[in-house]
Amino acid sequence: MEKIYDVVIIGAGPAGLSAGLYAARAKMSALILEKSKTGGQIASTEEVANYPGSIENASGPSLVARMVEQCKEFGAEMEKDTIVSVKFDEKIKVLVGEKNTYYARSVIAAPGASPRLLDVPGEKEFTGKGVSYCATCDADFFTDFEVFVVGGGDSAVEEAIFMTRFARKVTIVHRRDELSAAKSIQEKAFKNPKIDFMWDTVITEIKGDGVVEAITLKNVKTGETTEHQAHEDDGTFGIFVFVGYLPQTGIFKDLLDMDKAGYFITDDNMKTNIPGVFAAGDCRVKSLRQVVTAVSDGAIAAVQAEKYVENNFHDEA
């Protein structure tokens, strides 16, 4: 007989790890499933500036490591697997993964969001060969090289500042003439002598031979296009893309209510339209997608899942 968990949590970002901690501390049998990197987006964030108590040198990976340790200490299990389909029509919910099938009395969906692509020719071909979505992972490869950072939000500007520790020069390419990043982050960037800005500009093509060697840039106001070539001595340069994220909610399509962009619609208790299925974190319709709101969602979802299991499976325990 397969094990039936009180709660299976899909996603080991801050929302999923917080849910795992609260569920395990409530003595629920809890399994956290993650398909790629534990920690979600903060696993590739150099500085977590907006999380209370997180001050100098509080890197994303170190925060994740502590969250994981805490979850395990209280007995939450963790597995690497990609859930490919779910069945929510019976009392016991079924999650079919690439490796295993999992059974749960309740489910917390915390699949997060993944980087939005530029969707231009050459982007896929040169991913890992000059194009990156993770400064923490790849900044070091561009020590003393030139780097372009695309985007104007918090991620782009913060990661551009981080990149200046490595790169010779960092150019922020933004499609408008003002940034949307928090003012405090903008101020730091404007003061940084290594950061330049290309306003009203998008990258339309990425070219090279094995590695990135050139990009085509277009001014969206004038329509003018220019080509940027790698410096002769460098032979290549980096392109770091931070143009927002897309919710990873595809497998729940037609089952769980979502808005037009694919974000889950829940109530304040993280309840979805299916009893016993909760959603938490960046995958949810909300006004602020931050670690602090993700961990709050996870805690609420776990407490609600515990109540659901207690009310619906009490006699079977």
**Residues in contact with ligand NAP, shown as a per-residue x/- string from 217 to 256 under the rule CB under 6 A:** -------------------------xxxx-----------
Q: E strands within 210-249?
A: 212-219, 225-229, 238-241, 245-247
C-beta of residue 34 within 8 angstroms of C-beta of residue 16: yes
By C-beta, is 271 or 284 nearer to ligand NAP?
284
Choose, by CB under 6 A, the member of 118, 172, 198, 258 that binds ligand NAP. Answer: 118
Catalytic residue flag (residue 138): yes
Does the annotation count 6 as an active-site position? no
Residue with tokens 């997060």: 112
User: By rule CB under 6 A, what string of x and - marks binding of each residue 41-60 to ligand NAP?
Assistant: --------xx----------
Catalytic residue among 6, 81, 138, 154: 138
Residue 31 phi, psi dihedral angles, 5° rounding: -125, 130
Instruction: Sort 65 into a burial class: Cβ within 10 Å, 0-12 / 13-18 / 19+.
Output: middle
As a whole number of Å, the CA-based R_g of the chain is 22
Q: How far is the CB of 113 from ligand NAP (least distance, A)?
A: 8
Find where tokens 């500009």 sit: 201
Output 49 or 211, the one with its CB closest to ligand NAP.
49
180 binds ligand NAP (CB under 6 A): yes
- String marking each residue 135-154 x if it binds ligand NAP according to CB under 6 A: ---------------xxxxx
The alpha carbon dihedral of 118, 120, 124, 126 has a sign of: negative
Question: Among 6, 71, 81, 134, which one carries the catalytic annotation?
Answer: 134
Per DSSP, the three-state class of 178 is coil
188 binds ligand NAP (CB under 6 A): no
Nearest CA to 195 out of 183, 204, 186 is that of 186
How far, in Å, CA of 282 to CA of 246, rounded?
9
Nearest CB to ligand NAP, comparing residues 6 and 158: 158
From 65, 96, 202, 214, residue interacting with ligand NAP (rule: CB under 6 A): 202
283 tagged catalytic: no
Cα–Cα dist 238/206, whole Å: 11
Catalytic positions, please? 134, 137-138
Point out which residues bind ligand NAP (CB under 6 A): 49-50, 116, 118, 150-156, 158, 175-176, 180, 202, 242-245, 289-290
